């Protein structure tokens, strides 16, 4: 009992403030507790659990659960099909992101300058995005791509096996994806275009700027932030592609379209090897984290440079 007992704190204002702050903290915790609980139960815990599974040989029934260290990762890195599916994911991401950003911008500029029946243009570009992936996949699978009676072959008078020939399958899936999702980027660009102050163009016009000058010096720079956002969202969405490919080609023919998520799905749910599938998922997770961090740095640099 050598410490001095503090005097009753009630009188000092600093103590009151501390008390208020503490009670706020307590109340705040109480308020976020439900969210925290759900967050821990459905995100943190499964993430940790998944990491543990990725180092075990557990199967879909939860049996055969022995720790095998990094064996699954070693197997995955030596697995040509893992690399093939990873490569497919990269190819899909590049092939889809570029047109999705450029076409989104192009359509937005077009609609922005078309001054009549704007709702119709907006609807026609955005419409497909409203459809569920299953509807889009079946539509293209059953009506547009079939070799004998599909819309494309019927129109061109050809007999291409769009989805079952390994040389065209990825292109066909990308085409469907672009048709389906370009509307979202289009909408973001359109909103950004409409928020550019009109007086900038008026001032530029007075200075004698041509249409191309206005585009290069006003429109495109002011769309920069939107472009950055769209590229980030698009890259992440494309890296996580699964449903339309699963429904249209099942990853085939000959693995030519199988993305890494489907590979993890196939290994885990149809191959029953949950441990190995977890390892494959973690490899994708690591890649997404790296891509996100790289983009974050890139944008931070750009923001610093411009200020």
Partner 1 sequence: MQDPPKVTRRSLLGGSLALVGAAAAGCAIPVGLGSAQTRVQYWHFLGASDGIIMNQMVSAFAKDNPNIFVEENVLAWGEPYYTKIAMAGSGGRSPDLATFHLARLAGIGAGAILDPINVKLLEEAGLRAADFSPPIWERAQLDGVLYAIPFDAHPMVLYYNTDICGKAGLLGSDGKLLPTRNQDELLAMLRKVKETLGGKPPLVFDALGLGTVGPWRVWYSLYAQSGGTLLADDGVTITIDDQKALQALRLMAQLGQEGLCDPRTDYGASVASFTNGQSAFLWNGDWETTGLKERKTPFSMTRFPSVFGTGAAQADCHAFVLPHQRFRDPEVERATYRFIAYLIKNSADWAVAGHVPAYLPALEEPDYLALQPQSEYRSVITEVALDPQVWFTGSASRMWIEFGEAFSPVISAERTPEDGLAAAKASLNRLLSAPNPFPDQER
The residue range among 119-127, 177-185, 216-224, 250-258 that interacts with partner 1, by the rule CB under 8 A, is 250-258
Which is nearer to partner 1, 62 or 208 (by Cβ)? Answer: 62
SS3 content of the chain, % helix, strand, coil (to 5): 75, 0, 25
Residue 157 engages partner 1 in binding (rule: CB under 8 A): no
Which pair of structure tokens corresponds to residue 261? 């998520």
Using the CB atoms, write b or e for 69-83: b if 16+ within 10 Å: eeebbeebeebeebe
Q: Binding of partner 1 at residue 163 (CB under 8 A)? A: yes
Position among 28, 46, 154, 250 found at the interface with partner 1 (CB under 8 A)? 250
In the window 63-82, what residues touch partner 1 (CB under 8 A)?
63-64, 75, 81
Q: Which part of the chain contacts partner 1 (CB under 8 A), choosing from 21-29, 38-46, 141-149, 207-215?
A: 141-149
Shortest Å, Cβ 251 to partner 1 = 9
Residue 50 is a binding residue for partner 1 (CB under 8 A): no
Told to check if 84 binds partner 1 by CB under 8 A, we report no
Q: Is 14 in the site for partner 1 (CB under 8 A)?
A: no
3-state secondary structure 172-241: HHHHHHHHHHHHHHHHHHHHHHHCCCHHHHHHHHHCCCCHHHHHHHHHHHHCHHHHHHHHHHHHHHHHCC
Tell which residue, 140, 129, 128, 136, has the closest CA to residue 169: 140
106 binds partner 1 (CB under 8 A): no
What is the distance between the alpha carbons of residues 113 and 198, in angstroms, rounded to a whole number? 13
Interaction site with partner 1 (CB under 8 A): 57, 59-64, 75, 81, 141, 147-148, 159, 161, 163-165, 248-250, 252-254, 266, 269-274, 276
């Amino acid at each position: 009992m050598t410490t001095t007992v503090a005097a009753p704190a009630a009188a000092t204002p600093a103590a009151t403030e501390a008390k208020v702050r503490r009670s706020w903290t307590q109340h705040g915790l109480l308020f976020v507790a439900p969210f925290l609980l759900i967050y821990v139960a459905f995100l943190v815990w499964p993430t940790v659990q998944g990491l543990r599974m990725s180092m075990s040989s557990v199967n879909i029934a939860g049996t055969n659960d022995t720790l095998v260290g990094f064996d699954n990762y070693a197997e995955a890195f030596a697995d040509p099909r893992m690399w093939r599916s990873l490569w497919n994911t990269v190819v899909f991401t590049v092939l889809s992101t570029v047109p999705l950003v450029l076409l989104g911008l192009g359509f937005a500029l077009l609609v922005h300058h078309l001054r009549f029946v704007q709702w119709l243009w907006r609807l026609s570009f955005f419409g497909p995005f409203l459809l569920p992936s299953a509807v889009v996949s079946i539509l293209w699978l059953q009506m547009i791509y079939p070799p004998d009676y599909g819309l494309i072959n019927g129109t061109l008078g050809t007999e291409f096996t769009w989805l079952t020939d390994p040389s065209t399958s990825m292109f066909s899936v990308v085409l469907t994806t672009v048709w389906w999702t370009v509307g979202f980027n289009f909408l973001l660009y359109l909103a950004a275009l409409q928020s550019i102050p009109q007086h900038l163009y008026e001032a530029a016009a007075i200075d004698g700027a041509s249409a191309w000058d206005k585009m290069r010096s006003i429109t495109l720079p002011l769309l920069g932030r939107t472009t950055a956002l769209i590229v980030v969202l698009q890259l992440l969405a494309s890296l996580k592609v699964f449903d339309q490919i699963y429904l249209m080609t099942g990853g085939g023919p000959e693995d030519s379209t199988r993305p890494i998520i489907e590979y993890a799905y196939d290994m885990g749910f149809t191959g029953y090897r949950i441990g190995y599938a977890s390892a494959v998922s973690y490899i994708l997770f690591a890649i997404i984290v790296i891509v996100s961090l790289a983009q974050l740095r890139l944008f931070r640099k750009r923001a610093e440079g411009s200020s």
